[in-house]
């Protein structure tokens, strides 16, 4: 089933950083803007505004963040797929973080205009930046 979603950009440029699995959460993570902490068996991944990440921390910078305007029922099928299919089909890499009320899709900042165009062509409504 096709999903037509309402999407907005979250202000700022974001970084995806990697810390050791046993690292404590750093103070630089705190502050305004979207931020996420993902712990796995072998690493800790942080997402935050890129200007917060200190030199020397392994990070990929230059990401823009799109957010669905929800919430959606947890059993709603196809939400993430509806977002990433038009992007992936057109060669745009993504990093996805789902929250209780919605999905955050990070795309390279250099691809914002293309991502917007592909999402709108797929029937989604992208609020202007």
| 37-50 pLDDT, tens digit each | 999 999 999 999 99
The candidate with the shortest Cα–Cα distance to 104, out of 55, 53, 64, is 64
Residue with token string 């669905």: 68
As a residue count, the chain comes to 129
| 68-103 pLDDT, tens digit each | 987 777 778 888 999 999 999 999 999 999 888 889
- Total domains present in the chain: 1
Q: Is residue 120 part of a domain?
A: yes
CB contact set of 38 (below 8 Å; sequence gap of 6+): 44, 45, 46, 47, 97
Rounded CA-CA distance 57/113 in Å is 29
- DSSP secondary structure letters along 48-71: EEGGGSPTTS-EEEEEEEEEE---
Q: Is residue 1 part of a domain?
A: no
Q: What is the CATH number of the domain that holds 62?
A: 3.30.2130.10
3-state secondary structure at position 119: helix
Domain of 16? Answer: 6-126
- The pTM assigned to this predicted structure is 0.90
Residue with token string 């630089």: 28
Query: Which of the two residues, 128 and 20, has the higher pLDDT score?
Result: 20
CB atoms within 10 A of CB 54: 9
Q: Is residue 42 part of a domain?
A: yes
């Amino acid at each position: 089933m096709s999903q037509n979603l309402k999407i907005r950009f979250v202000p700022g440029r974001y970084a995806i950083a990697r810390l050791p699995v046993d690292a404590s959460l750093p103070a630089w993570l705190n502050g305004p803007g979207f931020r996420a902490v993902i712990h796995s068996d072998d690493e800790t991944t942080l997402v935050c505004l890129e200007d917060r990440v200190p030199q020397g921390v392994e990070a990929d910078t230059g990401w823009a963040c799109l957010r669905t305007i929800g919430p959606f029922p947890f059993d709603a099928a196809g939400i993430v797929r509806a977002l990433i299919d038009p992007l992936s089909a057109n060669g745009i890499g993504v990093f996805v973080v789902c929250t209780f009320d919605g999905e955050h899709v990070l795309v390279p900042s250099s691809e914002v205009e293309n991502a917007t165009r592909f999402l709108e062509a797929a029937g989604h409504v992208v609020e202007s930046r």
